Amino acid sequence: MSLALDSVTEHQGRARVALSAALAAGPSHAYLFRGPRGAGKRAAARAFAAEVLATGADDPDDARRRALLDPSPHPDLVWLAPRGAQHLVEEVRERVIRAAAYRPFEGGKRVFVVEAAEAMRDESQNALLKTLEEPPAFAHLILLSSEPDALLETISSRCHPVEFAPLPAEVLEAELGGAGEEVAAAARLAGGDLERGRLLLSAAGRELRSQAEACVGAALRDEVAAAPWRALLSGAEAAGEEAEAATRERLEEEAEAGVKRTAREVGEEAKRAGRRRRTEILDLGLDLCAVWLRDLGAVAAGAEEVAFNRDRLEALRQQAAGLDLARARRGAELVEETRRGLDLNVSEELALEALFFRLARLLA
């Protein structure tokens, strides 16, 4: 039977070659799959785990089949995803660190996959370190991360890195299942992230794009006294509330089904999920502002063909009329500086106010 890996990493040739070579030589004890969201890390991890578990199994085909199911009933595949904004420390300890010491239920291997590894707190990462340094011969760990810089160096250095490149825009267009300028624009604005591309084609995504365009337009007209950035904050807040409510509902349903959690734990996990979604949407809104400014510069320079927002060229032409290319580029840099600054727990309201007043002085 051909490797399951071959079919799920179609657009990740380098990763497929690296993982195929690892299987041929004998898999290492730990891997770090690095790359943007939507690049195929999750599917590749499941396929790689399936091949590891099939090795030495009494019925390799059946072991592979069960490991590929999502969720998987294979007892030697442990898949840990964060329930909220972060992995719970005790869950990492119980389901990975302590479980890794137990021998396989079937065959000769156990595989532990930690999705969104950057969501582990430092306490969890430090606790995991010993397992990475002295793993049992039968245990294999796969960490997935879209933000590998957020991992401790001691963790990253003990894992074999496997790089996943962003999906090309042409591939995203096909995955998004449509044609036309809006799909082409979403594929380019997504930055290789299929989930983001789908969001941009939703009603919420279209509204977010319009808000970003309006914010930059207000700066160009020197009309920022009306605080146009508050629409971005309100949209992010609404998305966070929706995510919190959905997470709370799911956790309460799990509690009714017998999963043990206190009301406090449910509330804290739901709030973490809400905060995480709020941050994601606000960051995306600012990213869209930066790309709009980049596109304005491209149009001003007569290079419309490289614009990402290709479905809104007429609006770009109107705003780019008479715009200095260097100022548009500097404006995009200011937005990116603000995005990075929000990681420092500054006031979002004040940070955005300062940003758009600076943009108005620069562009108007």
Average pLDDT (148-161) is 93
Across the range 93-104, mean pLDDT stands at 94
| Among the ranges given (112-121, 258-267, 286-295), the one the predictor scored with the smallest mean pLDDT | 258-267
Query: Are 51 and 5 within 8 A, CB to CB?
Result: yes
| pTM for the full predicted model | 0.72
d(CA 216, CA 295) in angstroms, rounded, equals 12
CB 234 within 8 A of CB 204: no
Q: What are 37's two structure tokens?
A: 């969201």
CATH superfamily of 4-165: P-loop containing nucleotide triphosphate hydrolases (3.40.50.300)
SS3 182: helix
AA identity, residue 228: P
Q: Is the pLDDT confidence value at 195 over 60?
A: yes
Domain(s) labelled CATH 3.40.50.300 in the chain stretch across: 4-165
**In the beta sheet, which residues pair with residue 34?**
145, 163
* Cβ neighbours of residue 65 closer than 8 Å, sequence gap 6 or more: none
Q: In whole numbers, what is the pLDDT of the chain averaged over residues?
A: 90
Amino acid 4: pLDDT: 62
How many angstroms separate the CA atoms of 208 and 242, rounded?
A: 16
Residue with tokens 């149009």: 299
Least confident of 69-78, 272-281, 350-359: 272-281
The answer, yes or no, to whether residue 1 has pLDDT greater than 50, is: no
CA distances in angstroms from 3 to 49, 54, 58, 106, 143, listed in the order given: 11, 10, 17, 20, 21
pLDDT tens per residue across span 16-67: 889 999 999 999 999 999 988 878 899 899 999 999 999 989 999 999 999 9
Q: Which long-range contacts (CB under 8 A, 24 or more apart) does 117-121 make?
A: 117/32, 117/143, 117/144, 117/145, 117/151, 117/155, 118/145, 118/146, 118/147, 118/148, 118/150, 118/151, 119/82, 119/85, 119/86, 119/87, 120/86, 120/87, 120/92, 120/151, 121/86, 121/87, 121/89
- Confidence at residue 2, expressed as pLDDT on a 0 to 100 scale: 45
Residue with the larger pLDDT of the pair 169 and 309: 309
Cα dihedral: 199, 203, 208, 214 (round 10): 150
DSSP string, 239-250: HHHHHHHHHHHH
The total of other beta-carbon atoms located within 10 Å of residue 217's CB is: 17
Going by pLDDT thresholds of 50, 70 and 90, the confidence category of residue 8 is low
- The greatest distance separating any two alpha carbons of the chain, rounded to the nearest whole angstrom, comes to 72
For the chain, what is the total number of helices (H) and then of strands (E)? Answer: 16, 5
The encoded tokens of residue 222 equal: 């020197």
For 199-214, what is each residue's pLDDT tens digit?
Answer: 999 999 999 999 999 9
**pLDDT band at residue 175 under the 50/70/90 scheme:** confident
